[in-house]
Amino acid sequence: MAKTRLAVVGVGLIGIRHAELIAAIDEVELAAVADPSEVGPREAARLATRHYADYREMLDRERPDGVIVAAPNQLHLAVGLACVERGIPAIVEKPLADTLEAGAELVLAAEAAGVPLLVGHHRRYNPMVEATREILARGALGRLVAVNAVWAVRKPAPYFDATWRRTTGGGPILINMIHDVDCLRHFCGEIAEVQAYGSSAIRGFEVEDTAVVAIRFASGALGTITLTDAAPSPWGWEAGSADNPNIAASGQNCYRFLGTEAALDFPNLTLWRGAGPEPASWADPLAATPLAWAGHEALPQQIRHFVRVIARAEAPRVDGRDGLATLAATMAIKQAIATGRPVAPAAAPAAGARA
């Protein structure tokens, strides 16, 4: 059977991980990479594939079966539309786009053309994420009351050599927190409203380096997220899950779920519950029960799923509309910071609306 030919647009931190994985997975072939920088030819040679400075030339000459769009956020719309116009399925790295309007345009264009569009919220392919969702869905914690999340790292100075990371359309809310927003939507349901504060006091960039968010879910549960890329810590998805080789593993939890009957640590999946038939009160000791889960490799699973989507054997697990809903909640956070007021995420465009 012929291998599925995948191409990658953008070979930055996440793009090169995609390219390396494609080159290593038996059922796929790395057809080419496109990147206008001096890094592109070097990485293409290292991975024994073809390089193009212009992604449009790559799409026209190579005609790949699918494309992973890992270009800077501000280019997601243009590259995504180029794939849609050629009928090529794509995974667009998160965020789907740098604005809601751009994201909606891309989703509507893909729907009108009947071209599969996925969004790179790869954490959903992680077995411990699916285990946590199942734990919450079956009511093991009782009714969900609240959740808190922390993502805190100190990014090295060279990371910001790429101008787009420190200017509008970049920043850790759109680059990093959006993953946590997506996970909390996946775990806890839709977000009804957010309040937030942001600060650029440490780095002094155009975009934030720190943010705190309060969330009201449609279910009535509440949540918080604390984010910074200017402070070293062991708390964050990548550190806790060992899911990213660029970030040192710590094994520490980054989320805590509070229910009416029990509490849950994540990603260590430790359930805290009283010994009696009734929920424990504050005087009752709690027992810690580690729950089983297997594996933590999410990105390879996303690629394998993409292959099945291209073959029309599966529907996208995180499609354009799902990615757009996460983008809407994330942009509501940006708006809440800018206005100092609570903000509800914008509604999705109606199916069939003009792009």
Residue with tokens 């734990």: 135
Let me know: does 205 contact 182? Beta carbons within 8 Å. no
Let me know: does 36 contact 53? Beta carbons within 8 Å. yes
φ, ψ (nearest 5 deg) of residue 29: -130, 135
Global pTM reads 0.93
For residue range 327-351, list pLDDT tens digits in order.
999 999 999 999 999 999 999 887 7
Give the integer Cα–Cα distance in Å for 116 and 317. Answer: 11
Average model confidence (pLDDT) across the chain: 94
For residue range 267-296, list pLDDT tens digits in order.
999 999 999 889 999 999 999 999 877 666
For residue range 138-181, list pLDDT tens digits in order.
999 999 999 999 999 999 999 999 898 999 888 999 999 999 99
Tokens found for residue 114: 């009947």
Q: Which domains does the chain have, with CATH numbers?
A: 4-123+299-317 (3.40.50.720), 126-290 (3.30.360.10)
Is residue 235 classed as helix, strand or coil in its secondary structure? Answer: coil
CA proximity to 228, closest of 176, 295, 180? 176
